[in-house]
């Protein structure tokens, strides 16, 4: 396994952390550790772009230190601070080392690593909230940028007919494979893909990414959404909504619902054709 670079940002409060996570995700950072007044961000050494980082720091100066870290047992690292995520009485996301969570409809067991989508972040949390109100029964589902595979796993638990989960990151594919197996899922097809190229139309598409990737892929996503389908977008800041709404309208996608938490939003859209 390759070395990783850790950036340690000092004296950054919650809203500043959210903005940094969005900006760093845009330039390839894969994992984040949020503290009460600090943020650690992780990227593979080969994927690190100092010029791109400097551009972010020029706009938002922060005290930051950089450290090259050798491959670790990330299970042990995360186990020190990973706590179950409980979304009302609907869903719990817990690690393999936690006792079972009671009083929820669905429990998802994951092996927490550096992949995005453990449920701790407001974006994943909001997508799960929106999924509670969507009918997955007998539906074809796409999880675009699956990360840990949590959303794909939940879609199967909500009785989707089948689920295609794709990601372009080796670490995410490895982690999602483990998590899909741990939850004994049988209807999920996991593929490593750089882009969405398929003849399949999906009834529900989940895309918890970031603004740049969503805008880049929105035309293709729209083409793969069946008539009267549901698209859930997240990984977006509040200020991103006007640009996303405008781009969606060009693809005949209409926002039906939105949620907001800690400066982040999730959007539920449809291409519903009115009679």
pLDDT-derived band at 195, boundaries 50, 70, 90: confident
> Are 39 and 21 in contact, with CB atoms under 8 Å apart?
yes
Q: What does the alpha-carbon distance between residue 147 and residue 175 come to, in Å, rounded to a whole number?
A: 8
Query: Is pLDDT above 90 for 104?
Result: yes
Strands 106-110 and 91-95: what pairing?
parallel
Reduced DSSP (H G I as helix, E B as strand, rest coil) percent helix, strand, coil of the chain, to 5 = 30, 30, 35
Mean pLDDT of 265-270: 96
Strands (E), 60-178: 63-69, 85-87, 91-95, 106-110, 140-144, 162-167
Task: Give residue-wise pLDDT tens across range 167-192.
Answer: 988 888 988 999 999 999 999 999 99
Query: Is pLDDT above 90 for 52?
Result: yes
Residue that wins the pLDDT comparison between 25 and 268: 268
Single out the residue of 209, 187, 184 nearest to residue 108, CA to CA: 184
Q: For all residues of the chain together, what is the average pLDDT?
A: 88
Residue that wins the pLDDT comparison between 82 and 206: 206
CATH topology identical between 4-71 and 116-270: no
Backbone dihedral angles phi then psi of residue 84, each to the nearest 5 degrees? -60, 145
156-159, Cβ contacts within 8 angstroms, sequence gap of 24 or more? 156/183, 156/185, 156/186, 156/187, 156/188, 157/106, 157/108, 157/183, 158/106, 158/131, 158/134
Query: Is pLDDT above 60 for 8?
Result: yes
Residue 22 has a pLDDT of 84
For residue 137, the 8-state DSSP code is T
Kindly report the CATH number that applies to the domain delimited by 4-71: 3.30.70.980
Query: Is pLDDT above 70 for 118?
Result: no
| HEC string for 164-217 | EEEECCHHHHHHHHHHHHHCCCCCEEEEECCCCCCCCCEEEEEEECCHHHHHHH
pTM, to two decimals: 0.75
Backbone dihedral angles phi then psi of residue 222, each to the nearest 5 degrees? -60, -40
Q: What does the alpha-carbon distance between residue 68 and residue 222 come to, in Å, rounded to a whole number?
A: 40
Domain ranges, ordered by start, for the chain: 4-71, 116-270
**Domain 116-270 CATH class label:** alpha beta
Task: Give residue-wise pLDDT tens across range 205-249.
Answer: 999 988 888 999 999 999 999 999 999 999 888 889 999 999 999
Task: Give residue-wise pLDDT tens across range 128-154.
Answer: 999 999 999 999 999 999 988 999 999
Residue 81 has a pLDDT of 61
- Which range, 24-28, 117-121, 157-161, has the best average confidence (pLDDT)? 157-161
Mean pLDDT of 198-209: 92
pLDDT-derived band at 80, boundaries 50, 70, 90: low
């Amino acid at each position: 396994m390759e070395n990783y670079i850790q950036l340690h940002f000092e004296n950054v409060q919650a809203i500043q952390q959210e903005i940094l996570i969005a900006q760093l995700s845009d330039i390839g950072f894969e994992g984040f550790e949020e503290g009460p007044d600090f943020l650690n961000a992780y990227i593979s050494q080969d994927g690190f772009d100092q010029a791109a980082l400097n551009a972010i720091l020029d706009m938002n100066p922060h005290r930051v230190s950089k450290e090259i870290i050798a491959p670790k047992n990330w299970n042990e690292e995360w186990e020190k601070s990973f706590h179950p995520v409980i979304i009302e009485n609907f869903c719990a996301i817990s690690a393999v080392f936690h006792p079972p969570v009671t009083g929820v409809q669905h429990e998802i067991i994951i092996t927490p690593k550096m992949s995005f989508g453990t449920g701790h972040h407001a974006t994943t949390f909001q997508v799960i909230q929106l999924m509670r109100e969507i009918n997955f029964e007998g539906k074809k589902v796409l999880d675009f940028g699956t990360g840990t595979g949590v959303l794909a796993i939940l879609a199967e638990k909500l009785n989707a007919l089948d689920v295609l989960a794709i990601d372009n990151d080796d670490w995410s594919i490895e982690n999602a494979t483990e998590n899909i197996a741990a939850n004994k899922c049988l209807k999920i097809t996991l593929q490593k893909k750089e882009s969405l190229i398929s003849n399949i139309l999906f009834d529900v598409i989940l895309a918890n990414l970031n603004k740049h990737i969503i805008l880049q892929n929105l035309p293709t996503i729209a083409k793969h959404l069946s008539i009267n389908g549901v698209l859930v977008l997240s990984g977006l800041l509040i200020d991103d909504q006007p640009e996303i709404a405008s781009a969606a309208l060009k693809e005949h996608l209409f926002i039906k619902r939105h949620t907001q938490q800690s400066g982040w939003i999730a959007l539920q859209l449809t291409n519903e054709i009115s009679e």
